[in-house]
Amino acid sequence: MSHLEIRQLSKSFEGKEVLTDVNFSVDDGEFVSLLGPSGSGKSTLFQNIGGISLPSSGSIYLNGAEINGNRGSISYTPQSPSLMPWRTILDNVLLGQEIAGNRDKDKALQMIVRAGLKGYENAYPHELSGGMKQRVSFIRSLLSPQELILLDEPFSALDEFTRIDMQKWLLSIWDEYKRSILFITHHIEEAIFLSDRIIILSGKPATVSKEFVIPFARPRNEDILLSEEFLQWKKRIYEEMKESPNS
């Protein structure tokens, strides 16, 4: 079980407010995307939720308990994840489990194959492209034991086709693993395709301007990307983001 609740969260850097009065929640098993323009404060919000930094005011609750500044209760993959250069891909993938004390090498190998990285398990990070490294850190977070996973633009370094493949892959894994996912993107289509709910962050300082419940049935496949209904969602969200510009 996991229920995340963000209440009245604000964050300033040197007196300049970046986030103001942010309120939202993520229910057990939900896939929620945070959509906002570049520089709106999405990664800052994740650093607060992941316990890497503290909000200036407000609270983050996980299952009713305040977790401000606590690392480890939520699986957090930063925007530019670092793999340990001296560890092989397999050992990097196993890192999240190692910290929790249960290595499952077979599962890790299986995930490496499913991420299209077969044959790279004994390679070192410097031998991989940027997109491949992103996939490694992504499966590392999926294999860690926490029930809520924060993913900060995990597919931003991928080309359009690889991105859609990875989105489909993520949905199939998510179906199997039943985790809650809070996902950052500034890609409107990606947010619609993946999410149960989309939270729009906008304004300077940023706050939640709107929430949308995305009604497409699951399992979803890429056919919906070309449907009239999908296009309407794209328009609706685009209009919303345009109306509350980030300046």
Ligand X SMILES: Nc1ncnc2c1ncn2[C@@H]1O[C@H](COP(=O)(O)OP(=O)(O)OP(=O)(O)O)[C@@H](O)[C@H]1O
- In this complex, which beta carbon is closest to Mg ion, that of residue 37 or of residue 125? 37
Minimum CB separation from ligand X for residue 195, in Å? 17
Minimum CB separation from Mg ion for residue 47, in Å? 10
Minimum CB separation from ligand X for residue 106, in Å? 35
* Inter-residue contact 59 to 68 (CB < 8 Å): yes
SS3 content of the chain, % helix, strand, coil (to 5): 35, 25, 40
Residue from 10, 12, 43, 162 binding Mg ion (CB under 5 A) = 43
69 dihedral zone (left: phi>0; alpha: psi -120 to 50; beta): left
In the list Mg ion, ligand X, none, the entry touching 186 (Cβ below 5 to 8 angstroms by class) is ligand X
d(CA 101, CA 43): 28
* Tokens, residue 133: 């490294």
Task: Point out which span in 10-18, 42-50, 52-60, 129-137 binds Mg ion (CB under 5 A).
Answer: 42-50
3-state class (DSSP) for residue 136 = helix
Minimum CB separation from Mg ion for residue 42, in Å? 5
DSSP 126: G
Minimum CB separation from ligand X for residue 54, in Å? 12
User: x/- site string to Mg ion, residues 79 to 98, per CB under 5 A?
Assistant: x-------------------
Nearest by Cα to 97 from 87, 89, 108: 108
In the list ligand X, Mg ion, none, the entry touching 18 (Cβ below 5 to 8 angstroms by class) is ligand X
* Tokens, residue 218: 């699951």
- In this complex, which beta carbon is closest to ligand X, that of residue 38 or of residue 102? 38
At 130, give phi and psi (nearest 5°).
-60, -45
Task: Give the residues lining the site for ligand X (CB under 6 A).
Answer: 13, 18, 36, 38-44, 79, 186
- The total number of residues written for the chain in this structure: 247
Integer-rounded Cα Rg, in Å, for the chain is 18
- In this complex, which beta carbon is closest to Mg ion, that of residue 68 or of residue 156? 156
Residue 70 vs residues 20, 49, 67, 76, 145: alpha-carbon distances, Å: 21, 9, 5, 12, 16
- In this complex, which beta carbon is closest to ligand X, that of residue 41 or of residue 50? 41
In the list Mg ion, ligand X, none, the entry touching 135 (Cβ below 5 to 8 angstroms by class) is none
- In this complex, which beta carbon is closest to Mg ion, that of residue 2 or of residue 47? 47
* Tokens, residue 9: 């969260």
- In this complex, which beta carbon is closest to ligand X, that of residue 93 or of residue 149? 149
Minimum CB separation from ligand X for residue 187, in Å? 10
User: Under the rule (CB under 5 A), what is the footprint of Mg ion?
Assistant: 42-43, 79
